[in-house]
Amino acid sequence: MKHLRRVLLKFYQLFANSKAEAELAREIAAHLALLEDEYLRRGMPPEDARRAARIAYGGVEQAKQLHRDERGFQGLSQILQDTRYTVRQLGRSPGFTATAILMLALGIGATTAIFSIVEGVLLRPLPFPDPDRLVILGDVLEGSNCATCTRPGVTAPDIRNYMRDTQSFSHLGGYRGRLFELSGTAEPAAVNGTRMSAEVFAALGVPPLLGRTFTQQEEADNQQLAVLSYGMWQSRFHGDANVLGTRILLYRKPYSVIGVMPRGFEFPLNPGHVNQSEFWLPLSLQPEEFTAGGAAAWNSRMVGRLKPGITAERAQSDTERVARDTMRDYPAYMHSLRIHAVVTPLHEDTVEQARPLVHTLFFAVMVVLLIACANLAGLLLVRAIRRRREIAVRLALGARAATLLRQAIVESMVLSIAGGAIGLALAAVTLRVGVSLLPQTLPRLKEIALDWPVMLFALVLALLTGLLCGLAPAFAAIKTSVNETLKEGGRTGTLGSGHGRLRAALVVAEIAVALTLLTASGLLLRSFEKMRDVKLGFRPDHTLAALYVLPHQRYGTQSAIDEFTKTLRNDLEQLPGVDAVGVTSFLPGAGDHWNIAFTIEGYVSPQGAGLNMATTSLVQGDPFEVLGIRVRRGRVFTESDNAGSPLVAIVNRKLAERYWPGQDPIGKRLRRGMPETSTPWMTVVGEVDDVKLGSADAETLPQVYQPVTQTVASKGVFATAGELNASDGWIVLHTRMAPEQMQATLRATMRQIDPQLPLYQMQTMERAIANSETPRRFITVLISSFAIAALLLSVLGIYGVIAFSVALREQEMAVRMALGCQRSGVILDILSSGSRLAVVGCGLGLLGAVAASRLLRSFLFEVSPLDPGVLALSASAMLLLTLAASALPARRASMTDPVLALRGE
Amino acid sequence: MSNKDKESIQLLQGTLDLIVLRTLATMGPQHAYQIATRLQQISDRLLNLNQGTLYPALVRLEQYGWIKGTWGRTESNREAKYYEITKAGQKALGEETKTWRRMSALVERLLIQES
């Protein structure tokens, strides 16, 4: 109790110090007066009495110091005092202070903003209880070396087998996301939903906000139940508490709402804002999903919670065993397929793809911060040198080195904390605006926020920055040689060369890191340019696209679908302003496609080459004409290529060159599946140009086009009972006017044919391509703006250092010019000292660029990370800018008036 | 000074607080000079104490809330800060005295046994 009271009072003393000092002085004076009276009374003469009183009292200053130590926390109170002093000092040079604080605010603000992405996307634990125990289970299909297979999937029989036969999971279930046609509440709309095992809810361990989730029994009974997301509940049901029991129509089948999940519940953890699942339905696998093509379609995923004490490795071998059993039971038509079970932590699975991007951004922003730091250290150093006479006088008067050190650090701390506070505000504003601009390839965007860990990060960053920036000037201050400095008198001609070297080192470091970033930005810009140069293989202008999916409930027979498609194509062709109409299952540029295995007649795969995978687009009408895909050989499909006629296919150039190099592909035959799969041959009737199905910087894949009417027939043993052709597709229109103007017309036409059928993702092809470029544009723009910031900051730093050294050498210059040195000589001298720094900095910077190339490699497209052009260009730009930055002080130096040499200071 | 001839002793940590408290308890409000004088009297000048060394003890006791200082006038009409023991100070004095007695008795017993 007494101690608590005392600690509080000691803190209070920090702020009431001057009052306590006055009181103490008064008390001591009174004490001395009383003592003096006493000695006077004893008959001493006044002079002696005063002396005797002082002796009896002891050292007044010592007593005061003892009193101070006792009454308050001295370390703190000194720092407080130093802070007040610093703030006063800084207030006297507002230009310097504003520059320093703004520079730090930019550096710390940008770093904090990027760190909030690092924290929200990569570092924060997933929003489930005990998230480390959650794993993704999937198969890697041997030989299917395609880019889209990095996220291992499972088939319907896999889900059944893994759930039934593994022992490592307390809960394990499958899920599969897809687009749903939602009607029954308002305007029909397309929404993302997920079919999932009841066990998945149990594995994730998040209870619903309202109602309940479905049970395994309900799932097995094929009950049509739905659990809504918080977002859907709010947007479509206005947060109505009576939503439970409501019916929604999905593909025109009724589902009753039994629960609402809490806000922030998100599963699967898909990248981007728009792909989030809005509701969850029981997976209820149907018998046809286990047979024929269903058994060979890896289109679902599995998530599970490991049993306590079971490691991921144990689970891996457990699942591997089940996978072997599954393979043993493979039907004859797929017995050559080999799978491996893979267990990945859910967190890893979620963030893996985002990691390189986030790391690169963080690295780049740290470089900017480092340069800002170096600049500030340089500025502070210059200040310290300007004040070295003051420092020398203080040292001569007995100031301790520790005091000088503390004051220097306090000064840079005050600046960095002020900068940090403003930076935090900047970061908050940036995040407000910036999150919506993040590429949709990042997961967990909702979790990006300025929360406590981020604030703490900013604070620590500010403190570290202050400490780091303060060190250089602090040591410069204590290394000040009292004798030398005071002897120099007013003359500033000679300068401690040690400090000069320190400043030079700072500038060299700045140039080096700025060049590293500049090179990175150059490489990314070059990649972007290369991507823009890529031939997409189709013509995107004047083209409008939209997706439809026909609900089985209404279009349950082939004739109903055929009727719909025929009407649709007829009606669209009649529209004024429409040149050509086509329907295709994969839209170029949209990035949404998958691959299947093919067997090519007469082609023997080299040992270990794996499966022959190709993307298969199912087409109606003439999408080749609509999209301007050039036919290289043969013909396009006609109306007579239909369900009853011989099976035909069109291949792209890549496929033709891979399997029939140097030959005419027309007349060759291929079929779906593996050699052991019984499927009918298709005859190649045409060869077309390669088309980019995803973004332009993605790999071009072998492609096969088939008439949609022949789909089921070509599937052979893969076709499930009752499977229908053409139940979905992308409508593509080539228009004479701007494609945006056709949107309303397209919608109206569709509404006439089926008022309940929504059109999904209607967009112009130019828009689709722009979207596919977004991730690359994002990183390019961001890294380039960091590079520009780094460049400006380092040029500023170079200018500062050269200008300062010129100012110090003014006297020397005047003497030289008085002795007949030419102006050009002076200019050359200063330029050469600037360029020396630049050359050393650029050399180190190029080494840095080589070191950073590993990090950058995954973002480059058709550009080597050591592209000589880019390296040379960035280095020479850096050199030129450095020269420009030293040209200004050089010119000023050449203007020095020789009379100055005579005057001195 | 005469006390230079005698062997002076160092004050034990914390004993100064006890002495100051005790002085204020028996003599009523005192200023620092009076306390110092009193200290020299009772120690028979054995304590070689600069009067300034009293100040830390005073500020410490004041922060504990055991004594309270107020400005007043001396008989010779000089201003001085008078310290007065508080209620909490009285209580603390009782406890500290007990602790001290126990302590000194213990040391005494030890010294007797050793000799």
DSSP of A408-461:
HHHHHHHHHHHHHHHHHHHHHHHHHHHGGGS-TTSB-GGG----HHHHHHHHHH
| Contact (Cβ atoms closer than 8 angstroms) between residue A226 and residue A257 | yes
Residue A375, phi-psi category: left (phi > 0), alpha (psi -120 to 50), beta (remainder): alpha
Q: In chain A, which residue's Cα lies nearest the Cα of B69?
A: A27
- Cβ–Cβ gap A69/B74 under 8 Å: no
Residue with tokens 């309270």: B68
- Cβ–Cβ gap B52/A33 under 8 Å: no
User: Residue A467 above 50 pLDDT?
Assistant: yes
A728's tokens:
């979905």
Can you give the pLDDT at residue B13? 60
pLDDT per residue over B102-112, tens digit each?
888 888 888 88
A466-480, A791-805, B3-17, B28-42: which range is least confident on average? B3-17
Can you give the pLDDT at residue A204? 93
User: Residue A652 above 50 pLDDT?
Assistant: yes
A437-446, A613-622, A649-658: which range is least confident on average? A437-446
User: Residue A497 above 60 pLDDT?
Assistant: no
pLDDT per residue over A98-128, tens digit each?
888 888 888 888 888 888 888 888 888 888 9
HSE-up (13 A, CA, CB side) for residue A372: 34
Strand A339-345 versus strand A728-735 pairing type: unpaired
At A77, give phi and psi (nearest 5°): -65, -30
Strand A612-621 versus strand A631-634 pairing type: unpaired
Mutate to test the interface with A, among B1, B11, B63, B73 (most CBs of A within 10 A): B63
**What three-state secondary structure class fits A284?**
coil
pLDDT per residue over A67-78, tens digit each?
888 777 777 777
User: Residue A863 above 80 pLDDT?
Assistant: yes
Q: Identify all chain A residues contacting B86, using CB atoms and an 8 Å cutoff.
A: none
A246-250, A278-282, A335-339, A385-389: which range is least confident on average? A385-389
pLDDT per residue over B45-65, tens digit each?
666 667 777 888 888 888 888
Nearest in space to A211 (alpha carbons), one of A187, A228, A235: A228
In Å, how far is B113's CA from the nearest CA of chain A? 37
Can you give the pLDDT at residue B1? 38
Beta bridge partners of A249: A183, A254
User: Residue A494 above 70 pLDDT?
Assistant: no
Question: Omega into A268 within 30° of 0, i.e. cis?
Answer: yes
User: pLDDT category, B6, cuts 50, 70, 90?
Assistant: very low
Q: Using only C-alpha atoms, what is the Rg of chain A?
A: 38
Q: What is the dihedral of CA A206, A212, A217, A221, to 10 degrees?
A: -120
User: Residue A147 above 50 pLDDT?
Assistant: no
- Measured CA to CA, the distance from residue A100 to residue A475 in angstroms comes to 20
User: pLDDT category, B5, cuts 50, 70, 90?
Assistant: very low
User: Residue A838 above 50 pLDDT?
Assistant: yes
A196-205, A863-872, B34-43: which range is least confident on average? B34-43
Q: Identify all chain A residues contacting B56, using CB atoms and an 8 Å cutoff.
A: 66-67, 69-70
- Cβ–Cβ gap B74/A70 under 8 Å: no
pLDDT per residue over A369-425, tens digit each?
888 888 888 888 877 777 777 778 888 887 777 778 888 888 888 888 999 899 899
Q: Does B63 lie at the interface with A, CB-CB under 8 angstroms?
A: yes
Can you give the pLDDT at residue A395? 81
- Measured CA to CA, the distance from residue A396 to residue A164 in angstroms comes to 85
User: Residue A209 above 90 pLDDT?
Assistant: yes
Mean residue pLDDT across chain B: 81
Q: Does A53 lie at the interface with B, CB-CB under 8 angstroms?
A: no
User: Residue B4 above 50 pLDDT?
Assistant: no
- Cβ–Cβ gap B52/A28 under 8 Å: yes
User: Residue B83 above 80 pLDDT?
Assistant: yes
User: Residue A326 above 70 pLDDT?
Assistant: yes
User: pLDDT category, A175, cuts 50, 70, 90?
Assistant: very high
Q: Does B31 lie at the interface with A, CB-CB under 8 angstroms?
A: yes
Mean residue pLDDT across chain A: 84
User: pLDDT category, A150, cuts 50, 70, 90?
Assistant: low
- Measured CA to CA, the distance from residue A115 to residue A123 in angstroms comes to 10
Mean pLDDT, to the nearest integer, of A480-506? 64
Nearest in space to A708 (alpha carbons), one of A565, A555, A603, A511: A565
Top pLDDT among A685 and A811 is at A685
- Cβ–Cβ gap A58/B53 under 8 Å: yes
Top pLDDT among A689 and A499 is at A689
- Cβ–Cβ gap A31/B64 under 8 Å: no
- Cβ–Cβ gap A34/B78 under 8 Å: yes
- Measured CA to CA, the distance from residue A353 to residue A358 in angstroms comes to 10
User: pLDDT category, A174, cuts 50, 70, 90?
Assistant: very high
Nearest in space to A128 (alpha carbons), one of A227, A261, A265: A265
User: Residue A735 above 80 pLDDT?
Assistant: yes
Q: Does B50 lie at the interface with A, CB-CB under 8 angstroms?
A: yes
User: pLDDT category, A303, cuts 50, 70, 90?
Assistant: very high
Can you give the pLDDT at residue A694? 78
Mean pLDDT, to the nearest integer, of A750-763? 87
A508-512, A699-703, A897-901: which range is least confident on average? A897-901
| Contact (Cβ atoms closer than 8 angstroms) between residue A577 and residue A738 | no
In Å, how far is A71's CA from the nearest CA of chain B? 6
Can you give the pLDDT at residue A901? 64
A366 C-beta neighbours (distance < 10 Å), count: 19
- Measured CA to CA, the distance from residue A658 to residue A662 in angstroms comes to 9
- Cβ–Cβ gap A27/B50 under 8 Å: no
In Å, how far is A58's CA from the nearest CA of chain B? 5
- Which listed CATH number (1.10.3720.10, 1.10.645.10, 1.10.10.10, 1.25.40.80) goes with B2-114? 1.10.10.10
Out of B32, B52, B76, the one facing A60 most closely (by C-beta) is: B52
Q: Does A390 lie at the interface with B, CB-CB under 8 angstroms?
A: no
- Cβ–Cβ gap A67/B33 under 8 Å: no
User: pLDDT category, A145, cuts 50, 70, 90?
Assistant: low
- Cβ–Cβ gap A5/B78 under 8 Å: no
- Measured CA to CA, the distance from residue A846 to residue A519 in angstroms comes to 8
User: Residue A261 above 60 pLDDT?
Assistant: yes
Q: Identify all chain A residues contacting B11, using CB atoms and an 8 Å cutoff.
A: none
Mutate to test the interface with B, among A17, A54, A70 (most CBs of B within 10 A): A70
A219 C-beta neighbours (distance < 10 Å), count: 21
User: pLDDT category, A225, cuts 50, 70, 90?
Assistant: very high
